[in-house]
Structure 1
C-alpha cells in the first residue's frame, strides 16, 4: 500500500503501532513508515524506523522478515550516503532470506547498484531475481524488476532492450492498483522516449507522471532530474537550472536523500554551463563531485567531473592538466560503457587544439569521431564536431565543411521532430559550434559566395517550415480561452488599481499549461532541405541589393548581394553595435513623448555610429536602388531607416535571404480581402482605422465587441491585407506570449500559429510589435516571425514605443501608397517623407520597419 496509496499506508501503519501489536506486525508498520520517510520525507527519521523494524524482526525470530527489512534499510543507507553500511545490510539480507524474499532483496540491491552507477552488477542481481519473482507469480515485484532492468539498459545506451522491458512491465502494471509504481512507469517511458530522441513525447510523459504524483501527494525528485535532462536537450537550460535549484531547496528543507541531492546538483551544473553561467556550473559540479565521492558512486562522480572540466573551460581556463583530466574522464566513462564518453574525448581534443598540441588532439578527436555514425542525434553531432575539428587541424577546409554539413543535417532531422517553433528555434544552439567552424572555413578557403551559403545554412532555420498544428486539441483551445479571460481580468484590475496577485498566479499557471501542451506536439513537416541557391537569389534581386550581415569571431562581415555578384566587406564589432543599438532604442523611447526634441541630434549621431559599425566601407557601395537588410538575430531591434545611407531609400528587413526569396515568390491569395481591426484602450482610439476603411469599401472592420480573438482569427485567415491597431506587448520572458490586445483579451503568438494561412500583407500599427527574442544559434521568436512561415509575404511593425497620435498620419500615408500599387517598403519610405519634419514624427517613422518582400 505504501506505493499504491502512500499517505493512507502511513496512517494505517501508525494505527497498527498504536494498538500494541506483536513484534512481527510492529516490524511491518515501522518498515512502512521508514519507506514513506525514505522516499517522501526525512531520511534521518526513515533510518530510525527501519532500524527499529530490523530489531523487531529479530525479536520475532523471523529470518524472512529480517531479510526483507535489511533490503529496505540497505536502500535507505545508500541514499543517506552511507554506501559501505548499505551494501553490508544487503549482504546480510541475502544471507538471511530464501527464495521469494531473497529475490526481493536482490531486486533492491540491483536498484542500489544502479544508483551507485554499477550497471553490470545491477543487471546480474536483477537477472537472478526476475525468474524467482515470476515463478512466485509476484506481479508487482516482477514489474518493478523489469522497470529497473530497462532503466539500467537505458543508462548503457541499449534503448531497444529497455523498450522491451518497459512494455512488459507496463502490461503487468495495468493489472495492479499500484498508483505510485504506475506513475513511475510513465516517468520511465518518458526517459525512454528521450533516449530514443523523441523530446516532445518525453515532455508529455514526464508531465503526465507529474500529474499522477501530484494526486498521490508525493515528491518527484527523480522526475525533476529527468525533466532537467530533457529540458537541456530541448535548449531550455535556464528552465532546467531553475527546476533543479528549486528541487534542491525542497529536498534540503525536508532532510531528504543525499543521493538525490548529488544528482540534482549535477543536473544544475550541466544546466548552468549550457545557460552560459560557468561559475555557477563550477560551484554546483564541485559539490556534486564531493558528494558522489563520499557516497562511493564512481560512475556518477566521473560524470560530475566531466561537467566540472567543461565549466572550467567555458570560464576561460586552458591547460595541459585539463587535457589530462578530460582524457582520464573519457577513459573511465568508456570503461563504464557510458554514452557520454565521446563527449569527454571531444573536450580533451578541443583543449589540446587550443594549446597547439595537434598530435594529442588528433588522438582524442579520433576517438570522439567514432560516435558520428550511430546513436541518438546529439551523440552523432558530437562525433561530427570532432571530425570537423580534426579536419581543421589537418588544414582541410573541404573536410571541415563536409563534417559540418553532415552534423547540421543530423540536427535538422532532430529539430523537425519538434512540432513547437520555440523548441525548433532553441535547439539550434546545439549546432552553433558547427556553424561557426563552417563559416571560418568559408572565409579561409572560399569566396564571399561560400560564406553567404553557410551564413544562410544556419540563419532563421525555424522559418523554413510552418510549426506543426495540433489536430484538434480541445484541452489546448480551452487553455487558450481560459488564459485570455484571466489575462483580460488582470488587465482590467490593473487599470482600476485593484490588487491582482491571485489573478497573476492563475495567469502564470495557465501560461505554463498552454506552453506545456504546445511543447508536446511532435513535428510532421519536412524542412526545405537548405538548398540555398546564390544564383537564384541574384537573379531574383534584379535592381535590389541584399545586404547580409554575418558574424565571425565577434566581428560583422558585410555581404553585398546584387548586380550578379557577392562582395564581402568587414564591419565593426558586434558587441559595440549592440550597445549602440540600445542607445538608439532609448533615444526613440524619449522621442515618442512631446518635449524631447533635444534628443534628436543624439539619436541621429548614434545612427551614424551604427552605420560605421554595421556597414563599414560597404555603405559607399550600395548604389541607388532598394535595399534588403538581413541582420543577425541579435541586431533585430536596429531601426534601419535611421542609418544615413538608408534613410531616403526603399529598405526592408528579412530574417534570412531564403526567407526573402520565399516571400518574393509568395502569391497573394485569390479572393482575399482586407481586414481592419481596432483594439481597445488606444490613446487615439485607433483613429486611422475609419479613414483607412474609406479606402477599402469591401473591407471587414472589426471593432468593439467584434474585435474578439476567435472572430479576428477567422477573418485574418487567408486575407490579402490586414491592418491591426491594437496595443502590443512583448514578453521577453516568454516570447510566444507576446500579444496584441483585443476586446476579450490578448491575441498571442500561439493563436497566430493556428492560422491555415496568415494575411499576405499585415500592418501592425502599435508599439513594440516588431520586438523579437533572439534564441538558439541565430533564431527569432515573436509576432513577426510567427507570421512569415504561414504565408505572410510582408509585415510593417514597430521595434520601439511610438506616439499614438503621430502614428495616424504615418498609417494614412502608408495606405495611400499601397493604394497606388507600391510595395510595403516603398509605401513606408514615401509615408516617412510625407510626415511633418519635427522630432516626434521623424522618430515615429524610424521606429517602423517593413519586413519581407511584399
Structure 2
C-alpha cells in the first residue's frame, strides 16, 4: 500500500482515541471523492462511530458500503476487516444469524494478523450473545497472533475482553490477571476511549469481588473520561445499575436505566444494549418494590433477547420476570417449575446467578407447602454459602435458614442467620459511607426476621432481645469512615454552601432560583458521589450485644425495646435483672397515629390552636396503648430509655401519659445506649454556643447562656461560619446551636443547620474527629431522621452518636421559636446543677407555661443517648 493508504488506515485506531475527530476526518475524506480503498476506510470509520455512539441503521448502511468497496477493490484483508466490524453491528442490531455469517466469511477471507482481529471481534460478539465458551475459544486463538505481531492495541483489547468473559463466569482471579496485563499495555498507547473502557472494566472487576466503593469510584472515573471524549456509553450505564442495586440504591438504578433507554431510543442505538438496559431496569424496579414495572420491563427484555438469539441473557431475564411475578403475589406450581428450569440453565452456563434461581424455586415451593421440592431446591442454593463474594454467600445462608425452618430446627435457623449476618457484617464494614452501610442492612432483613421468629417461638424474651439488637442501628456500631482530605470534596462542600446560601437569599427576595437550584443539585450529586467512594476502615461488625452487661448498667432505669414481628409490636422491658415481653398494637396503626400527632404539633406551634391541646393529649393515650400496651403499668418509678424501631422515630415519646413526667431518653438501639453511657467526657470542658441567622427569636437564649457558663466560645453573626463552627465543635464538652434546621427526606445527609455562610450539613459533621460530648440543637426538625435499610436511621442525630457524642437534645417537629427560649434556659439551668440531659429536659418541661404552644414545644424535644 502507498504512504497515503497507510495514513488513511490510521483513521481506524483514532475512532477509539479521538472519536469525534476521526468521524469529522472520515466525512471530509468522503467529500473529496476518494479511491475505493480510502472510501472503504472512511465508511468503516463512520460505521464504527454510528454503531457505538449513534444510529445503528446508519452504521449498517456505511459498513455495507465499506464492505462492497473493499470487495470491488479485490482487497481480501480489507474486506475481512470490514466484515468483522459489520458482524458486530449486525449482532448489536439483533440480526444474530446475519452477523455470525459475516464473521464466518471474514475468517475465511482474512489471514494471519487480520484473521486474529476478526477472531477477537467474533469473540466479542459471542460475549454479547452470552456464548462464553465460544468467546474464550476465539480470543484464545487470537491473542498469540496479536502478541507475535506486536499489536499492542488489539492485544490489550483481547485481554480486556477475556477478563470480562472470566467475570461473567465468576472467575475473578483470572479476570484480575488479564485486566492488569491489559492496563500495562494501554498505558503505552494514546487510545483514550479504550483506556476509559479499561477503567470501566476494572470497576466491574471491583464489583464482582465485592468492593462496591471501588466499583463506584472507577465507574465515575470512566464516565468522566467518556465525557471528555463526548461519547455516550450505554455499557457503563448497565454496569453502574448493577453496582447501585448491590448498594441497595435500586430507585437510582431504575432512573439511570430508564434515562439511558430514552437516549438510546432517541438515537436509534443498539438493540442489544436496549435489551440489557431493560433487564437492569426490571431488576431495579423489583428491588425498589415496583413489581408491575419489573414485570413489564422483564417481559420485553425476554422477547428482545429471544429474537436476538441470546439465550444466556434471556435466561437471566426470565429469572427476573419470575421474581417480579412472585413479588406481585403470584404463587403456583408452574412458577416453581419455571424457576427450577432457569436454575438448571444458569448452572449449565456457569452463571453466578444460579443459586438465586434455586433459592427462588425453594421459596415458592415453601409457600405452596411443597416441603420435599423446597428442600431439593434450597439444598442446591445453600451450596453457595461457603465461597464466593459476600452477597452470593448470603444467598446460600438464606437458603440454609429456610431449610432449617422447614425442618423445624430452631437451632439450625439461628445458626444460619448468625453466619449469614456475620458475612453481611464483614461486607458492610468495607463500606465507608454511612448511607451505604445503612442501606446494606436491607439485605439481612430476612435473616434477622427469621431469627426473631425462631427466638419468639422458643427462646424467651432474652434471646428475642439479642436478635432484636443483632440487626438494629448497626450503622452506629462503629464510627463512620472519616472523609479523606480530598481537595475536590472540600471545594465542592464550600461551593455547595455558597450556592445554597444564594438560593435561600433569592427565595426570600422572591427572585428566580432555577439556575441556582440546578447547580446546587449538581454539587450535591458530586459530594455524595465522592462520599460513596470511601472504603470502610473498621474490621468486623463492632461489639456483640450482651444482655447481662445491659442489665447491670441499667440500675434503676428501665429500657423499653420495641421489636416488630409480623407487623405486631412486642415490648421487651429490661430492668431489675430481667427481660419481660408484652404484646402491644399493630405497627401500621402506631405509624398512622404518630403522623397525626406530628400534624397536630405543627398546628400547636402557632398561636390560636389551643383548642387542639386535649385532642393531642388523647392521641398520646392512643399511642401508649399501641406502643406499650400492658408494659406501661410495669415501668416502675425510675428513668426510662425507649428503643423504638426506625419506623417509629417520629413519635414524641414525652406525650405518652406514662412517660410524660419521667426522666426519658430515646436511643436507636440498646447497644448504642450502652456505648453512650460508657462514653467519657473530653478533657477541658469547653462550652460552645452558636447562633445562626434568621431565627424569629434571634436565638435570644444564647446571651443568657453565655453569662451562665462564664467564658464559653460564642459564635454568632459573621463568626458563625461553617469552618469556624466545626473547628470549635470538635472535642467540645457541650455545644448549643440555635439555628434554623431543615430535614431532607430525599437526601437525609444533606439535612442542615443554617449558618452565616450557608448550611452546615451531616457530611460536615462526619468530618469531625470527635463530636461534642453533649449537643443541644435548638432548632426545628433536627431530630427528624430517614428510615432506610432494615432498621437504620440517617440524619443529624445518628451522625453525631458514633462520633463521640453521648447525648443530644433535638426536636422532631416544627416548633415555635419564641417558646423554645424558656425551654432552653430551663434545660441549661438543670445541666448547670449537674443533671443529665434527660433529667434537665424533664425539669425544663415542668417549668414551662401551661399554654398549648409551650406544652407542644416541650413534647417536640427529645433527649437521645445517655449523657
**Deviation readout 1:332-388 (Å, 9 max, x if unpaired):** 000000000000000100111111111101100000000001000000000000000
2:296 to 270, 283, 291: 283
Is the counterpart of residue 598 in structure 1 residue 626 in structure 2?
no
Q: Tell me by how many angstroms 1:393 deviates.
A: 0.6
Q: CA RMSD in A?
A: 0.8
Mapped to 2, the partners of 1:690 and 1:600 lie a distance apart of 32
Q: Contact between 1:728 and 1:740, CA under 8 Å: does it hold in 2?
A: yes
Q: Contact between 2:429 and 2:541, CA under 8 Å: does it hold in 1?
A: no
Flag structure 1 segments of 5+ consecutive residues without an equivalent. none
Q: Contact between 2:478 and 2:542, CA under 8 Å: does it hold in 1?
A: no
Mapped to 1, the partners of 2:122 and 2:261 lie a distance apart of 26
Q: Tell me by how many angstroms 1:784 deviates.
A: 0.2
Q: Tell me by how many angstroms 1:602 deviates.
A: 2.0
Q: Where in structure 2 are the equivalents of 1:274-423 lying within 5 Å?
A: 274-423=287-436
Is the counterpart of residue 488 in structure 1 residue 498 in structure 2?
no
- Report the secondary structure of 2:430's partner residue: coil
What is residue 135 of structure 1 aligned with on the other side? 148
Is the counterpart of residue 221 in structure 1 residue 259 in structure 2?
no
What is residue 3 of structure 1 aligned with on the other side? 16
Q: Tell me by how many angstroms 1:625 deviates.
A: 1.1
- Report the secondary structure of 2:614's partner residue: helix
Is the counterpart of residue 90 in structure 1 residue 92 in structure 2?
no
- Report the secondary structure of 1:526's partner residue: coil
**Deviation readout 1:21-54 (Å, 9 max, x if unpaired):** 1111111100110100000001111111111111
1:532 to 537, 545, 559: 545
- Report the secondary structure of 2:864's partner residue: strand
Mapped to 2, the partners of 1:338 and 1:530 lie a distance apart of 37
Is the counterpart of residue 667 in structure 1 residue 677 in structure 2?
no
Mapped to 1, the partners of 2:540 and 2:487 lie a distance apart of 28
Q: Where in structure 2 are the equivalents of 1:11-410 lying within 5 Å?
A: 11-410=24-423
- Report the secondary structure of 1:694's partner residue: helix
Q: Tell me by how many angstroms 1:194 deviates.
A: 0.6
Mapped to 2, the partners of 1:548 and 1:317 lie a distance apart of 35
**Deviation readout 1:749-796 (Å, 9 max, x if unpaired):** 011011111001000011000000000000000000000000000000
- Report the secondary structure of 1:815's partner residue: helix
Mapped to 1, the partners of 2:290 and 2:397 lie a distance apart of 26
**Deviation readout 1:549-571 (Å, 9 max, x if unpaired):** 01111111110000111001111
- How many corresponding residue pairs? 854
Mapped to 2, the partners of 1:199 and 1:847 lie a distance apart of 39
Q: Contact between 1:285 and 1:304, CA under 8 Å: does it hold in 2?
A: yes
**Deviation readout 1:538-593 (Å, 9 max, x if unpaired):** 11001000000011111111100001110011111111111111100110111111
Q: Where in structure 2 are the equivalents of 1:406-805 lying within 5 Å?
A: 406-527=419-540, 529-805=542-818
Mapped to 2, the partners of 1:185 and 1:178 lie a distance apart of 10
- Report the secondary structure of 2:658's partner residue: helix
Mapped to 2, the partners of 1:435 and 1:212 lie a distance apart of 42
Mapped to 1, the partners of 2:270 and 2:534 lie a distance apart of 35
Mapped to 1, the partners of 2:543 and 2:229 lie a distance apart of 49
- Report the secondary structure of 2:775's partner residue: strand
Q: Contact between 2:425 and 2:541, CA under 8 Å: does it hold in 1?
A: no
**Deviation readout 1:432-469 (Å, 9 max, x if unpaired):** 11111110011112100000000000000000111111
TM-score when normalising by structure 1: 0.99
- Report the secondary structure of 1:774's partner residue: strand
**Deviation readout 1:712-741 (Å, 9 max, x if unpaired):** 011101111000000001111111110000
Flag structure 2 segments of 5+ consecutive residues without an equivalent. 1-13
What is residue 861 of structure 2 aligned with on the other side? 848
- Report the secondary structure of 2:689's partner residue: strand
Q: Contact between 2:572 and 2:581, CA under 8 Å: does it hold in 1?
A: yes
Q: Contact between 1:465 and 1:526, CA under 8 Å: does it hold in 2?
A: no
Mapped to 1, the partners of 2:236 and 2:817 lie a distance apart of 49
Q: Contact between 1:449 and 1:566, CA under 8 Å: does it hold in 2?
A: yes
- Report the secondary structure of 2:153's partner residue: helix
Q: Tell me by how many angstroms 1:594 deviates.
A: 0.7
Q: Contact between 2:426 and 2:541, CA under 8 Å: does it hold in 1?
A: no
Q: Tell me by how many angstroms 1:672 deviates.
A: 2.6
Q: Tell me by how many angstroms 1:610 deviates.
A: 1.1
What is residue 829 of structure 2 aligned with on the other side? 816
- Report the secondary structure of 2:496's partner residue: helix
Q: Contact between 1:679 and 1:742, CA under 8 Å: does it hold in 2?
A: yes
Q: Tell me by how many angstroms 1:486 deviates.
A: 1.0
Structure 1 runs of 4+ off > 3 angstroms?
527-530
Q: Tell me by how many angstroms 1:598 deviates.
A: 2.0
Q: Tell me by how many angstroms 1:527 deviates.
A: 4.4
Q: Contact between 2:483 and 2:766, CA under 8 Å: does it hold in 1?
A: no
Q: Tell me by how many angstroms 1:136 deviates.
A: 1.1
Q: Contact between 1:457 and 1:530, CA under 8 Å: does it hold in 2?
A: no
Mapped to 2, the partners of 1:16 and 1:464 lie a distance apart of 65
Q: Tell me by how many angstroms 1:497 deviates.
A: 1.1
**Deviation readout 1:88-127 (Å, 9 max, x if unpaired):** 1111111111111111111111001000100000000000
Change (3 A) 1:287 1:528: closer
Mapped to 1, the partners of 2:233 and 2:553 lie a distance apart of 56
Mapped to 1, the partners of 2:716 and 2:85 lie a distance apart of 67
**Deviation readout 1:227-277 (Å, 9 max, x if unpaired):** 110111111111111111111111111110010011011111111111111
Mapped to 1, the partners of 2:847 and 2:62 lie a distance apart of 83
Mapped to 1, the partners of 2:549 and 2:18 lie a distance apart of 66
- Report the secondary structure of 2:98's partner residue: helix
- Report the secondary structure of 2:86's partner residue: helix
Q: Contact between 1:673 and 1:698, CA under 8 Å: does it hold in 2?
A: no
Mapped to 2, the partners of 1:269 and 1:312 lie a distance apart of 11
Q: Tell me by how many angstroms 1:528 deviates.
A: 5.2
Q: Tell me by how many angstroms 1:479 deviates.
A: 1.2
Change (3 A) 1:440 1:751: same
Mapped to 1, the partners of 2:613 and 2:131 lie a distance apart of 68
- Report the secondary structure of 1:419's partner residue: coil
Q: Contact between 1:464 and 1:527, CA under 8 Å: does it hold in 2?
A: no
TM-score when normalising by structure 2: 0.98
